[in-house]
Each structure stands twice: as structure tokens, then as C-alpha cells.
């Protein structure tokens, strides 16, 4: 029993990061499902992380309130941004949101209250594992239900063909904005949770690399359903720990595994169990979002 | 003032060499090749290998690095992109597979050469100074500027004036039609990757020469700039990318001189954002609106 | 169905991994029971968290090898308790990232049950990892963190379990500035600084040090980690007509700043922090311009230092650098402290012993900890000549 307790205590941070990354992957899944390729979720994560940490530190805000405030702040910023980039699609949208993310990062680097490049240190570790996994369960369940709902079908229709969707009377602008803002909200919630796991945040935690990493989780996991991003985040967060025995060759194996997965399971790990149905998935173009 | 202008032109030349290859692959295959910074780094290390291990002079190392990275580009395509093309995977997958290759290749270089920056053996990198008025110009930098411009002209001729260039352009326009017209699509793609990666590698060698310094992560800072350059110049437009690169170089130096220091980058990325909103096709892009 | 499958898989995975973990834990437990006999005692375990991969991987292998050398030398003498107890050094890679650093610390504490942890390499990783050890009551010796808030007054609350064996910039920079100001007669300088935690800490310390020495900082010019060309920054600095340039940067950008200063501001010197103290800069043709405060001087002729250099060369067939000297010395100091305890794996005792330990001869010179657990050792103000660090005079 001791061994199991030791194991859990050792990898509690890894479990926490797995859950947080799964939330982040779901946040980007949401926009991908609605046909929007965004790289701005690392910035929304930063907004959630900094807002909640600063509210806790300077105003003594209770943890749930601080988290919620971070998420609301990100959503409030995402709404006008989403309206501005509404016309852009594919790589253009990705680069626009990436540019937004860099602006956020530079502002964090230049602002005294966010600690500039030194970041915020000594953030109390208030996040419990159950906070993360309860959030994840709720979010995954809600998104799973949404997928089959009117909104879910509207998003799928927009992803397949925006013009056709509009001609069928779907409020394209409103649905796209909803996906974008909800994605930001979710990313910021995850950001707030993560800031209270690792004691310390700095602007470089939310750079381009992070944005791409989140996208990798979602895409490699698979877009067809909500299990994909969760699976992708789990596998690729745990991988560095699992590959520890390879020591100096860790990164090489990780790269090789990532390459193999994307080539042999281009629609995501989640399709592993459904290889026989691959043709059907291809027909509905489930992952054809870029 | 003159010196800062010269600095801007130099850095613009490096950005241009880097971004043109990046833009070329994007225009032909719609791929954001995240391994391009790795190719840049490999160019520098290929030159190091030629000079330090094979004992060759620097002027031989430069073309060797060009060819070596060009071939690596073809290999990259075979490993990371061709399988995805065959399976009809979305362009997003290509972005991720190029990232996977980067992860592994950077580590291989680190295991061989270490993670810290290293230098070429003493005396193997050319160095001479030219004095103009009060300013001191470095020969290597002048040569780099000249070479960059020359290469850009050659590339323009290659794409506009040769049979291969026509094939590449046809492929960029419409892959299916290109195949029907009897164009050897895989050959045109291989040529695209050879040129793109060769130029990227060359940019790497030249920057490594300018500072006599190279490391496994030297290409990463250029990644975001390549996006900026491509967007400002117009997605997929090669002359646009060149102009975008020089504009970025000028903008960066100008904001250093005229703006509060800490807002420098916010300015660059804010500008990128505004261009995307106001003129998503960029300065010279001619993409139809529905592809944006 | 799918969920049940997942749960089963997760449980299986957990069991497999715990089984492996249990395998290493078992021998120490059984060995502990037979400790009363005159046979060998279980090893004293010490963890070393270091960046073998990721952005800061270049501090290795030296950082690891320095500690390993000290352990091997000690074990060769027989060990503690009359030769019945040896040291086992467990080295883990933190990938230069914070969450892996935290996991490595937790692994050391919960799974390996180490007595003391050395590391991690980066201050940004330490900001996450050190609070874990503090909360668990495990002594830590920082061997390469030079910034603010590592020991003494920490952002996360009390940090009395943390010690630092790496000379902080708060100590090294003022010495450097003092020496440079008096020898070069500085009146006005320009600081070029990066945007990371290390560089910004350095910037603040440099600012204070120049003020204390009556030198004007005419301009502070920031660069970003993503800048590749440093000519524009030095050109901008030149406009201020400074007596010297200060590089608050890591070694990579510092090399470029040295090159540009040599070209644009001939005969001006470059004053730097610990970032410039890198053997990778030695081949740089303009390295002779630098003035830097360091924790270790290879040129020091102390016997302890010369013995260390010879032993390191013999074992690894390479020259040690400062990071090797610091991890080696940290381990020497730790062993010396452990010798003063009755039970080497008693964390409380080891902490107490570290607080009062003092070694007169180490590669870094006379070594002890201040009441705030910071290192107390000499600062060497150095420059470079003939591709070697030599004292600045």
C-alpha cells in the first residue's frame, strides 16, 4: 500500500498537469469543432492564471471566485477579439490569434504588477486534484451533450461549409463567436487551476510553444469526439515521464511516437478503436478543419 | 542613423532568406513547416561539419550546407509530409509532423554537439572590416546582404522563367490539374523542398558566420518572424515575403530607436494583427477571398 | 464500456509502475532491519535534479559529473560509519521545465526517500520545486541558482530548508562593479538586458551596484530572447557614449554583444553577471573584453582546487567548469555536514549540521553558509586571456 501511496504522491503533479492539459485540449477542441483553428488559447490561459493569482494575492479573493474571475476576464476579452477576427479562417485565423497571444505576452513582460519577466512566484498551491478532475468531468460531459445538440450540429455544419450553413439559416457569426468565447473561458479556467499547482508562473509559460502544444493534444487525440482531446493530452503529458528510462534519448522517442501517431492515425488516437469505421469518418470529414 | 539602417538591412536579409523558403512551401503545399527553423540550424551545423571535421575552407562549406539542407528538405518531405499526402490528411497534421521531426532532430544535434552554443575553429570564418566615414562595416555582413539579394533574384528567375518553376506554380495553383497536365507532381514537390530548405540552411550558415556562433535552438526565434513576414508580404507570395522581411527588419530597428523599449514587440505583433484584419491578403498577396 | 476500459487500463498502468517503484524501495527496508549488525548499512540517498534536456541542457554533463566525482571519491574512502555506509546519488532530468522539476522533487521525496536534494539547474524551475521540498522538510542545496528569492526571503513563505552553494549575483555583481569602476574609472555605462528572470534579477542588482559606486546608468536597453542580431542594440548604446557596456544576459547573447562592442565601440569593456561565466565564450575572439564576477577560478592555485581539476580531468577526460566546481563543492560540504550527524539519513540533523558546517579548503575557497543559508565564499573578478579565465587586474 505504501508503494501506491508513494506513487500517487510522486506523480500528483503529473496527474494535475494531465487533467489541466485535457481541459486545455478541450478548449481548443471546441473551436476546432466549429471550424476555427486558433492559437490564442495559451494567452487566455495566461489571463486566467495571472488574474486568479493576482486576485488571490492582493485582494484575498476566495479560490473559486478568483478562478471564475479569471475565466470571465478572458471571455470578456475574447468576445471583441472573436468579432474582429470573424472573417479570418484556417491559417490566417491561427496567425491572427497567435499575434494576439504575443501581444498579451509582451504586455505581461512589461507590466510591473504581473512581475514582468520574473513572473509571479510563491502562488499558494490551492488546486486539489479533485478540482481539476471534477472540472474535467463536467466540461467533458457538457461538451459531449452539446455535440448532439442543435448548437453542436450548427458548429459541425459551419466547419464543413460556412456558406452553406449560412444559407440554411444558421447564425454563423453568433455560433462561431460562442465557440471562440467558450474556448477562451475554458482555457482561462484551466490556466487559473494550473497557476495554483506549480507555485510560480512567468510569461514564457504561455508562449507560442504552449499554444502549439495545446493544439497537438487536441489534434493528435482526435477531433471526432470529446474523448480525443482528453486522450491526446493524457498520452502526450505522461510521455516525458514514461520515457524517463530512455534518458538522453527521451526527446527522440517522443518525436518518433508523435510522428508515427500523426501518420498512422491522422484523425487522432481516438480513432484507434474505430479503425474499421475510418472510411465513414473520412466521409463526414470529421477532422478536416484546417 | 546610417548605421541603424544598415543593421536593419542586414537583419532583413536574414529574415528574407529564412522566410522565402517558408513561404514557398506554404504557397505550394499549404503547409506551415515548423521544421524550417530546424533546417536553418542544420545549415549552420552542416557548415561546421564541413569546416571542422572535413577541414574544408568556408567558401566550400557554404554550398555544401546548401546542398545538405536541400537534401534534408527532400528527406523531411518523404518522412513527415508525403505519407500524410497519400492518406489525404488535413494540412494541420503536417504542421504537427514537422514539429515531431524538429523535436527529434534538435536532440540528435545536441547529443553530438552539446546544447550550448559553439564556434567555428579559430581563423576558419572570414573576417575583415571596412571603414566608411565614422562607421565600421563588416565584410561578412556586406557579403551576406549582397548574397541574399542575389539569391532572391535567382529564385525569382527560377520560379518565373524556367520549366521547373512553371511546374511548381501549376502545383501551387491546383495540384489536381497539375497532375492531369502530366506534371510529375512528386518531383516538383521534391524540388520545392530542396530550394526551400537549401535557402533556409543557407540563412543559418550566414547568420552563424556573422557571429561565429551556432547552437541547436538558433532557428526558433525566427519561427514567429516567418509568420509575420509571410502575412505582411501576402501569404504565399515570394516577392511579398522578401519585402515583408525587409519591412520587419526596418520596423524592429525603428521601434528600438523611436519607441519605449518595452513596447517594441507589442508594436511588431500589433502591426501583424492589424494587417490581418485590414488586409488579410497582405501587401502583394493575390489569394481569392474564399481561401482566406 | 469505454470508460470501464479506461479505468482498467489506468489501474493496470498504476500497478505496473508501483511494482517497479516498489522494487527499488524494498531492499532499503530490509537492509534497515539488519542495521544493528556490523554489516553494510543502506546507502544514504541524495537526489540531483538537473536540466539534462530542454533549453538549459548545456550545464550538463558538468553539473552531474561534479557531484558524481565527489560521491565516488567519498565512497572510495569507505563511506560513513566506519566504512559501512555509502552514498547513492540519484540523478534525474527536469527537462528545464517547472512541472517536470516538481515531479522530480516529489519522486525523490516520496519514492526514492532521499535525505537531501541538490538542484534544480534553473531558478525558474526552482521557484516551483523548492516549495515542495520546503513543505516536506527535506534539505535542498541549490547549486546553480544565482537570482533573487532563492534563500533568505522567499516568495512562497519560509524557506529554511533551502541552502544555496552557488554564489548569488547579490554578492558577485557588487564586487565586479567595484573592481571595474576603480580600475577603469567608470562614469557612465549602458545596460543591455534580456527579458528572462535571470537577466531581470541581474539588471536590478547592477542598477543598485552602479548607484552605490556613483556611476550613471545612461540607458537601459532591453532585448528579447527571440532577437538574433545584436548590432542595433549596441548601436543604440553607442549613441550614449558610455565608458563601458553592461551585458545582463546569458552567454549566447553575451557573445554577440561582445562581438558588436569590439566592432562598434573599440577598446570599451563589457561588464557582465554570471551569465558570461561560461566556457562556451572562451573561444570567442573578443572574450578578452569581458569583466565578470565568478564563484570559481580555474587559475586558483589552492591545493583543493588543483586536486579537483586533476581528478576531474582523470575521470572525465575534460576540463571542469564552474558548474562542475559548484556541484562538487556542494557535495563536499554536504558530506562534511553528514559526518557531524549521528544518523546520516536524518534530515533534521543534516539541516542543523549544514547550518554550522565550514570547510576551509574547497575548489571555491573557504566555504560556509550565512545565517540566511546563502553561500559565504570569495568572489573572483575575472576576465579572459588566451582562452582562459584569468583574474582581472
Kindly list the partner chains of chain A, i.e. chains with 3 or more CB atom pairs below 8 Å. B, C
Contact C53, A251 (CB under 8 A): yes
Q: What is d(CA C369, CA C354) in angstroms, rounded to the nearest whole number? A: 8
Contact A230, A221 (CB under 8 A): yes
Cell of B191: 524540388
Q: Quick one: DSSP state of residue C43?
A: P
Average pLDDT, chain B: 87
Whole-number pLDDT of residue A274: 65
Q: Which residues contact A115 (CB under 8 A, 6 or more apart)?
A: A121, A202
- The domain segmentation of chain A, as residue ranges, is 2-208
Interface with chain A: mutation pick from C104, C107, C203, highest number of A CBs within 10 Å: C107
Contacts 24+ apart (CB under 8 A), A10-14: A10/C21, A10/C103, A10/C106, A10/C107, A10/C109, A10/C110, A10/C111, A11/A241, A11/C103, A11/C106, A11/C107, A12/A129, A12/C106, A13/A197, A13/A198, A13/C99, A13/C102, A13/C103, A13/C106, A14/A237, A14/A238, A14/A241, A14/C99, A14/C103
Average pLDDT, chain A: 90
pLDDT tens figures, A66-92: 999 999 999 999 999 999 988 888 888
Cα distance from C234 to chain B (closest Cα, Å)? 10
Phi, psi of A242 (to 5 degrees): -65, -30
Mean pLDDT across A108-118: 89
Mean pLDDT across B65-80: 97
Q: Look at A255 and B107 and tell me if their CB atoms are within 8 Å.
A: yes
Whole-number pLDDT of residue B233: 83
> Which of chain C's residues have a Cβ under 8 Å away from the Cβ of B220?
226
Does C205 have pLDDT greater than 50? Answer: yes
**pLDDT band for position C24 (50/70/90)?**
very low
pLDDT tens figures, B170-220: 888 888 888 888 889 999 999 999 999 999 999 999 999 988 899 998 999
Q: What is d(CA A151, CA A144) in angstroms, rounded to the nearest whole number? A: 12
Cα distance from C247 to chain B (closest Cα, Å)? 16
Q: Look at C106 and A117 and tell me if their CB atoms are within 8 Å.
A: no
Mean pLDDT across C335-358: 95
Whole-number pLDDT of residue A286: 47
For chain C, how many residues are written? Answer: 393
Question: Which residue is closest to C263 within chain B, CA to CA?
Answer: B136
Helix (H) or strand (E) holding A134: helix A129-147
Kindly list the partner chains of chain C, i.e. chains with 3 or more CB atom pairs below 8 Å. A, B
> Which of chain B's residues have a Cβ under 8 Å away from the Cβ of C259?
211-212
Whole-number pLDDT of residue B1: 73
Alpha-carbon torsion angle C348, C351, C356, C362, nearest 10: 140
Instruction: List residues bridging with C189 in a β-sheet.
Output: C217, C244
Interface with chain C: mutation pick from B213, B226, B264, highest number of C CBs within 10 Å: B213
Cα distance from C329 to chain A (closest Cα, Å)? 25
Contact A159, A34 (CB under 8 A): yes
Cell of C356: 554550522
Tell me what percent of the residues of chain B surpass a pLDDT of 70.
96
Q: What is d(CA B96, CA A214) in angstroms, rounded to the nearest whole number? A: 11
Beta strands C380-385 and C388-391 are antiparallel
Q: Which residues contact A89 (CB under 8 A, 6 or more apart)?
A: A35, A36, A37, A162, B292
Distances (CA, A) of A114 to A51, A58, A119, C127: 9, 12, 6, 16
Which residue ranges form the domains of chain C, and what is each CATH number?
41-167+302-376 (3.40.50.2300), 170-294 (3.40.50.2300)
Mean pLDDT across C161-181: 95
Contact C329, C165 (CB under 8 A): yes
Give the one of A84, A100, A289 whose C-beta lies nearest to B90's C-beta: A289
Quote the Cα angle for B220-B224-B225, to 5°: 100
Distances (CA, A) of A253 to A11, A85, A131, A229, A256: 21, 38, 32, 21, 5
> Which of chain A's residues have a Cβ under 8 Å away from the Cβ of C199?
117
Higher-scoring residue by pLDDT: A189, A88: A189
Q: Look at C18 and A125 and tell me if their CB atoms are within 8 Å.
A: no
Does C284 have pLDDT greater than 70? Answer: yes
Question: Which residue is closest to A249 within chain C, CA to CA?
Answer: C53
**pLDDT band for position A272 (50/70/90)?**
confident
Q: Look at A110 and B89 and tell me if their CB atoms are within 8 Å.
A: no
Tell me what percent of the residues of chain A surpass a pLDDT of 70.
93
Q: Which residues of B touch C (CB under 8 A)?
A: 3-4, 7-8, 10-11, 14, 107, 110, 114-119, 122, 129, 136, 138, 207, 210-213, 215, 217-218, 220-222, 224-225, 252-253, 256-257, 261-262, 264-265
**pLDDT band for position C129 (50/70/90)?**
very high
Does C250 have pLDDT greater than 70? Answer: yes
- Would you call C96 helix, strand, or coil by DSSP? coil
- Is B75 an interface residue toward A (CB < 8 Å)? no
Q: What is d(CA B23, CA A80) in angstroms, rounded to the nearest whole number? A: 30
- Would you call C148 helix, strand, or coil by DSSP? coil
Q: What is d(CA B38, CA B102) in angstroms, rounded to the nearest whole number? A: 6
Mean pLDDT across A171-180: 94
Mean pLDDT across B3-23: 92
Distances (CA, A) of C336 to C42, C72, C79: 19, 15, 11
> Which of chain A's residues have a Cβ under 8 Å away from the Cβ of C201?
118
Q: Which residues contact C391 (CB under 8 A, 6 or more apart)?
A: C297, C299, C380, C381, C382, C383
Q: Which residues contact C356 (CB under 8 A, 6 or more apart)?
A: C340
Question: Which residue is closest to A163 within chain B, CA to CA?
Answer: B290
> b/e for C318-343, b at 16 or more Cβ within 10 A?
eebbbbbbbbbbbbbbbbbbbeebeb
> Which of chain A's residues have a Cβ under 8 Å away from the Cβ of B108?
252
Whole-number pLDDT of residue C31: 41
Which residue, among C325, C379, C336, has the nearest Cα to C62 in the 3D structure?
C325
Burial of B230 (0-12, 13-18, 19+ CB in 10 A): buried
Cell of B54: 572535413
Q: Which residues contact A160 (CB under 8 A, 6 or more apart)?
A: A35, A285
Mean pLDDT across C244-271: 93
Does C28 have pLDDT greater than 50? Answer: no
Which residue, among C17, C121, C126, has the nearest Cα to A11 in the 3D structure?
C17
Mean pLDDT across C198-214: 94
**pLDDT band for position C22 (50/70/90)?**
very low
Whole-number pLDDT of residue B134: 66
Does C317 have pLDDT greater than 90? Answer: yes
Mean pLDDT across C43-56: 92
Q: What is d(CA A86, CA A174) in angstroms, rounded to the nearest whole number? A: 10
Kindly list the partner chains of chain B, i.e. chains with 3 or more CB atom pairs below 8 Å. A, C
Does C7 have pLDDT greater than 50? Answer: no
Q: Look at A216 and B79 and tell me if their CB atoms are within 8 Å.
A: no
Mean pLDDT across C336-352: 94
Q: What is d(CA C90, CA C108) in angstroms, rounded to the nearest whole number? A: 8
Higher-scoring residue by pLDDT: C310, B1: C310
**pLDDT band for position C32 (50/70/90)?**
very low
Whole-number pLDDT of residue B161: 87
Question: Which residue is closest to A194 within chain C, CA to CA?
Answer: C99
**pLDDT band for position C307 (50/70/90)?**
very high
Mean pLDDT across A12-41: 95
Q: Look at C58 and B116 and tell me if their CB atoms are within 8 Å.
A: yes
> Which of chain C's residues have a Cβ under 8 Å away from the Cβ of B262?
222
Whole-number pLDDT of residue A33: 93
Q: What is d(CA B15, CA A124) in angstroms, rounded to the nearest whole number? A: 43
Whole-number pLDDT of residue A290: 39
- DSSP string for B132-178: ETTEEEEHHHHHHHHHHHHHHHHHHHHHHHSHHHHHHHHHHH-HHHH
**pLDDT band for position B3 (50/70/90)?**
confident
Cα distance from C229 to chain B (closest Cα, Å)? 7
Which residue ranges form the domains of chain B, and what is each CATH number?
2-291 (1.10.3470)
Whole-number pLDDT of residue A1: 62
Q: Look at B119 and C283 and tell me if their CB atoms are within 8 Å.
A: yes
**pLDDT band for position A277 (50/70/90)?**
low
- Would you call C376 helix, strand, or coil by DSSP? strand
Give the one of B80, B90, B270 whose C-beta lies nearest to A259's C-beta: B80
Question: Which residue is closest to C52 within chain B, CA to CA?
Answer: B115
Whole-number pLDDT of residue B144: 85
Q: Which of A140-149, B136-145, B247-256, B267-276 has the highest mean pLDDT?
A: A140-149
Q: Which residues of C touch B (CB under 8 A)?
A: 53, 55-58, 60, 220-222, 224-229, 231-233, 235-236, 251-252, 255-256, 259, 263-264, 278, 280, 283-285
> Which of chain C's residues have a Cβ under 8 Å away from the Cβ of B215?
252
Contact A25, A233 (CB under 8 A): yes
Amino acid at each position: 500500500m505504501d508503494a501506491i501511496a508513494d506513487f500517487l504522491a510522486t506523480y500528483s503533479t503529473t496527474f494535475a498537469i494531465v487533467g489541466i492539459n485535457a481541459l486545455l485540449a478541450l478548449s481548443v477542441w471546441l473551436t476546432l469543432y466549429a471550424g476555427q483553428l486558433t492559437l490564442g488559447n495559451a494567452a487566455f490561459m495566461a489571463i486566467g492564471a495571472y488574474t486568479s493569482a493576482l486576485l488571490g494575492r492582493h485582494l484575498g479573493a476566495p479560490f473559486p471566485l478568483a478562478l471564475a474571475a479569471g475565466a470571465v476576464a478572458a471571455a470578456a476579452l475574447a468576445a471583441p477579439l472573436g468579432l474582429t477576427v470573424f472573417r479570418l479562417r484556417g491559417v490566417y485565423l491561427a496567425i491572427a490569434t497567435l499575434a494576439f497571444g504575443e501581444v498579451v505576452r509582451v504586455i505581461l513582460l512589461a507590466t510591473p504588477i504581473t512581475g514582468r519577466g520574473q513572473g509571479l512566484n510563491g502562488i499558494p498551491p490551492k488546486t486539489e486534484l479533485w478540482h481539476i478532475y471534477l472540472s474535467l468531468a463536467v466540461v467533458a460531459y457538457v461538451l459531449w451533450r452539446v455535440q448532439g445538440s442543435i448548437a453542436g450540429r450548427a458548429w459541425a455544419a459551419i466547419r464543413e461549409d460556412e456558406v452553406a450553413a449560412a444559407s440554411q439559416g444558421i447564425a454563423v457569426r453568433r455560433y462561431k463567436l460562442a465557440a471562440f468565447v467558450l474556448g477562451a473561458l475554458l482555457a482561462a479556467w484551466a490556466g487559473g487551476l494550473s497557476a495554483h499547482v506549480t507555485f510560480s508562473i512567468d510569461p514564457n509559460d504561455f508562449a507560442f510553444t504552449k499554444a502549439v502544444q495545446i493544439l497537438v493534444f487536441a489534434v493528435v487525440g482526435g477531433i471526432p469526439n470529446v474523448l480525443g482531446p482528453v486522450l491526446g493530452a493524457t498520452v502526450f503529458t505522461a510521455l516525458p515521464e514514461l520515457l524517463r528510462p530512455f534518458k538522453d534519448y527521451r526527446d527522440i522517442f517522443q518525436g518518433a511516437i508523435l510522428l508515427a501517431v500523426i501518420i498512422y492515425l491522422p484523425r487522432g488516437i481516438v480513432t484507434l478503436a474505430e479503425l474499421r469505421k475510418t472510411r465513414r469518418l473520412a466521409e463526414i470529414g470529421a477532422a478536416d478543419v484546417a | 542613423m546610417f548605421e541603424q539602417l544598415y543593421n536593419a538591412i542586414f537583419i532583413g536579409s536574414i529574415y528574407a532568406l529564412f522566410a522565402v523558403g517558408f513561404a514557398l512551401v506554404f504557397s505550394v503545399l499549404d503547409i506551415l513547416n515548423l521544421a524550417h527553423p530546424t533546417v536553418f540550424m542544420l545549415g549552420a551545423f552542416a557548415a561546421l561539419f564541413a569546416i571542422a571535421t572535413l577541414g574544408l575552407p568556408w567558401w566550400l562549406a557554404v554550398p555544401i550546407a546548401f546542398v545538405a539542407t536541400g537534401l534534408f528538405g527532400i528527406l523531411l518531405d518523404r518522412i513527415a509530409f508525403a505519407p500524410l499526402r497519400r492518406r489525404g490528411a488535413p494540412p494541420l497534421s503536417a504542421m504537427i509532423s514537422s514539429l515531431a521531426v524538429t523535436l527529434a532532430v534538435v536532440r540528435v544535434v545536441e547529443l553530438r554537439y552539446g546544447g550550448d552554443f559553439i564556434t567555428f575553429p579559430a581563423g576558419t570564418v572570414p573576417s575583415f572590416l571596412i571603414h566608411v566615414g565614422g562607421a565600421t562595416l563588416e565584410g561578412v555582413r556586406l557579403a551576406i546582404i549582397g548574397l541574399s539579394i542575389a539569391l532572391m533574384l535567382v529564385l525569382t528567375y527560377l520560379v518565373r522563367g524556367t520549366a521547373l518553376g512553371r511546374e511548381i506554380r501549376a502545383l501551387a495553383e491546383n495540384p489536381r490539374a497539375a497532375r492531369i497536365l502530366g506534371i510529375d507532381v512528386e518531383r516538383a514537390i521534391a524540388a520545392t523542398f530542396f530550394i526551400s530548405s537549401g535557402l533556409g540552411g543557407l540563412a543559418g550558415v550566414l547568420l552563424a558566420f556573422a557571429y561565429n556562433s551556432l547552437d541547436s535552438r538558433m532557428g526558433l526565434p525566427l519561427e514567429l518572424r516567418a509568420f509575420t513576414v509571410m502575412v505582411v508580404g501576402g501569404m504565399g507570395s515570394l516577392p511579398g515575403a522578401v519585402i515583408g522581411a525587409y519591412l520587419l527588419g526596418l520596423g524592429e530597428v525603428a521601434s528600438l530607436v523611436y519607441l519605449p523599449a518595452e513596447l517594441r514587440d507589442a508594436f511588431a505583433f500589433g502591426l501583424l494583427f492589424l494587417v490581418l484584419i485590414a488586409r488579410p491578403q497582405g501587401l502583394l498577396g493575390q489569394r481569392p477571398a474564399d481561401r482566406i | 464500456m469505454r470508460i470501464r476500459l479506461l479505468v482498467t487500463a489506468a489501474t493496470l498502468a498504476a500497478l505496473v509502475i508501483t511494482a517497479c517503484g516498489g522494487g527499488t524501495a524494498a531492499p532499503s527496508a530490509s537492509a534497515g532491519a539488519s542495521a544493528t549488525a556490523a554489516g553494510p548499512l543502506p546507502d544514504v540517498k541524495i537526489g540531483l535534479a538537473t536540466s539534462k534536456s530542454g533549453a538549459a541542457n548545456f550545464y550538463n554533463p558538468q553539473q552531474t559529473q561534479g557531484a558524481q566525482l565527489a560521491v565516488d571519491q567519498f565512497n572510495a574512502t569507505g563511506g560513513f560509519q566506519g566504512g559501512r555506509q555509502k552514498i547513492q546519488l540519484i540523478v534525474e532530468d527536469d527537462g528545464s521545465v517547472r512541472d517536470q522539476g516538481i515531479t522530480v522533487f516529489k519522486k525523490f521525496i516520496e519514492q526514492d526517500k532521499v535525505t537531501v536534494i541538490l538542484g534544480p539547474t534553473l531558478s525558474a524551475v526552482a521557484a516551483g520545486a523548492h516549495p515542495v521540498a520546503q513543505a516536506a522538510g527535506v534539505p535542498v542545496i541549490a547549486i546553480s541558482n544565482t537570482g533573487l528569492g532563492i534563500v533568505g526571503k522567499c516568495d512562497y513563505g519560509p524557506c529554511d530548508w533551502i541552502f544555496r552553494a552557488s554564489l548569488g549575483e547579490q554578492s558577485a555583481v557588487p564586487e565586479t562593479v567595484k573592481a571595474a569602476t576603480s580600475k577603469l574609472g567608470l562614469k557612465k555605462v549602458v545596460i543591455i538586458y534580456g527579458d528572462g528572470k535571470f537577466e531581470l534579477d541581474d539588471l536590478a542588482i547592477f542598477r543598485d551596484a552602479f548607484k552605490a559606486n556613483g556611476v550613471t546608468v545612461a540607458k537601459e536597453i532591453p532585448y528579447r530572447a527571440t532577437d538574433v542580431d545584436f548590432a542595433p542594440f549596441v548601436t543604440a548604446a553607442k549613441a550614449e557614449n558610455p565608458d563601458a557596456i553592461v551585458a545582463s544576459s546569458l552567454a549566447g547573447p553575451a557573445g554577440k554583444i561582445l562581438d558588436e562592442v569590439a566592432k562598434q565601440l573599440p577598446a570599451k569593456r563589457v561588464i557582465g553577471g554570471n551569465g558570461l561565466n561560461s566556457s562556451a565564450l572562451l573561444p570567442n575572439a573578443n572574450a578578452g573584453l569581458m569583466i565578470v564576477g565568478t564563484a570559481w577560478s580555474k587559475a586558483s592555485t589552492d591545493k583543493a582546487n588543483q586536486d579537483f581539476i586533476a581528478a576531474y580531468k582523470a575521470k572525465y577526460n575534460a576540463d571542469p567548469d564552474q558548474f562542475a566546481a559548484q556541484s562538487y563543492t556542494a557535495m563536499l560540504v554536504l558530506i562534511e555536514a553528514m559526518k557531524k550527524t549521528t544518523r546520516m539519513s536524518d534530515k533534521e540533523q543534516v539541516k542543523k549540521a549544514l547550518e554550522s558546517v565550514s570547510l576551509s579548503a574547497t575548489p571555491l575557497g573557504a566555504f560556509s553558509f550565512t545565517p540566511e543559508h546563502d553561500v559565504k565564499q570569495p568572489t573572483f573578478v575575472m576576465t579572459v586571456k588566451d582562452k582562459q579565465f584569468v583574474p582581472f587586474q
